[in-house]
Amino acid sequence: MAKRVLSGQRPTGRLHLGHLHGTLNQWVELQEKYDTYFFVADWHALTTAYDDVSAIKQDTTDMVIDWLAVGIDPDKSIIYRQSDLGETAELAQYLSILTPLGWLERNPTYKEQLREIKGKEITTHGFLGYPILQTADIAIVHGEIVPVGEDQLPHLELAREIVRRFNSYYGKTFAEPQAKLTKAPKVYGVDGRKMSKSYSNAIYLSDEPDVIRKKISQMITDPQRKRRVDPGDPNACTVFDLHLIYSKDLNIIKKECREALRGCVECKEELAERVVESLKDFQDRRNSFVENPLLAKEVLERGAEIVKPIAENTLHEVRKKLNLD
Ligand code: TRP
Ligand code: SF4
């Protein structure tokens, strides 16, 4: 039987090129070979957004529409929403009673977020327990392979430890989930920082062609190249990082850049046309989906129906082991 792959994404609204090349393309491939589960991690989103919940519903819809338009296929993958699967919370409860606080406090992602997220109280029980909930997400459907970015590796390590501890007390119940590292090319935003919604520097998959052209025209190039006649260094240029994804004539671009035979303006224009072209089919599909506001809702409802009995089964097994049934 095909192995079970599971991954989740916090609903951040419309997706951008960083998501596409970091995560989504891989998900689309995985669904051909594996038994795939993809879910909207809305509870996880709330651990850092509990003070303003106004956007979460629309963000969920926007994200699911993007998933569908990219090619995540409800006939090949089970697509659902975390908050529709209350069973996960019950499992998280059982996992939380056996997870030592020290494991959670040592989690590097937690420590980093504490440093980075300013002006908000996130030293909450829920935020500290983020990896427990994530473990429950995986274990509730007996996920075996978890495609994630590098930033999630500490969470996956914790998930293995928590599952191991559960198994050691109550007998082998869960497989230790394996992380499958996403081969993510570097995708920088318009300002030269990592592309991210929170930096307002992202090129969205659903941006109109002219918006994409404008954003690319504003991208940071080799900072040493001040004038058109100066030679450039493609390796120091975030525009070139996108050419690596979108262009085939890389040697020509490199040579022309280094010899100042091409200007940054034309280099960006060329890139922009390739990005626009490559997103065309996606955008056509997305536009047709947007006309049906119920689509995302229906997909999530159908996914929840399929995943619910699987989760109930797991809980049944777990309750028996805990001598509750
Ligand atoms: N924490 C993940 C992220 O921020 C999202 C997530 C939640 C997840 N639960 C998961 C990923 C379970 C994989 C498996 O990207
Ligand atoms: Fe970057 Fe292209 Fe300008 Fe070279 S010519 S610095 S690769 S934008």
Strands 77-81 and 35-40: parallel
pLDDT of residue 199: 92
| Ligand 1 centroid – CA 147 distance (Å) | 9
Tokens of 143: 């996920």
Burial 105-126 (b: 16+ CB within 10 A, else e): eebeebeeeeeeeeeeebeeee
Tell me whether residue 283 is in a domain. no
Region label for 318, one of left (φ > 0), alpha (ψ between -120 and 50) or beta (otherwise)? alpha
Q: 76-94, pLDDT tens digit by residue? A: 999 999 999 999 999 999 9
| Ligand 1 centroid – CA 149 distance (Å) | 10
Task: Please state, in angstroms and as integers, the Cα–Cα distance from residue 83 to each residue in 59, 80, 268, 309, 317, following that order.
Answer: 14, 9, 42, 15, 21
Q: Are residues 274 and 297 located together in one domain of the fold?
A: no
Over residues 187-211, the mean pLDDT reads: 95
Can you give 73-119 as a three-state secondary structure string? CCCCEEEEEHHHCCHHHHHHHHHHCCCCHHHHHHCHHHHHHHHHCCC
State whether the beta carbon of 237 lies less than 6 angstroms from ligand 2. Answer: yes
Can you give 207-240 as a three-state secondary structure string? CCHHHHHHHHHCCCCCCCCCCCCCCCCHHHCHHH
| Ligand 1 centroid – CA 20 distance (Å) | 16
Q: How many CA within 13 A on the CB side of residue 78? A: 22
pLDDT of residue 67: 98
State whether the beta carbon of 242 lies less than 6 angstroms from ligand 2. Answer: no
Atom of ligand 2 nearest to the CA of 254: 7
Tell me whether residue 115 is in a domain. yes
State whether the beta carbon of 240 lies less than 6 angstroms from ligand 2. Answer: yes
Of 58-67, 116-125, 241-250, least confident by mean pLDDT is 116-125
**Ligand 1 pocket test: which of 134, 156, 178 has the largest number of ligand atoms within 8 Å of its C-beta?**
134
Tell me whether residue 194 is in a domain. no
Supply the mean pLDDT for the chain: 96
Q: How many structural domains does the chain have?
A: 2
pLDDT of residue 183: 81
- Distance (Å, rounded) from C-alpha 273 to C-alpha 268? 9
Q: Residue 113 — very low, low, confident or very high, per pLDDT cuts 50/70/90?
A: confident
- CATH number of the domain where residue 242 is located: 1.10.240.10
- Ligand 2 atom 4: the closest Cα is on which residue? 257
Q: Are residues 31 and 169 located together in one domain of the fold?
A: yes
pLDDT of residue 142: 98
Give the residue numbers spanning the domain of 101.
Answer: 4-186+293-321
> pTM above the 0.85 mark?
yes
Q: Residue 201 — very low, low, confident or very high, per pLDDT cuts 50/70/90?
A: very high
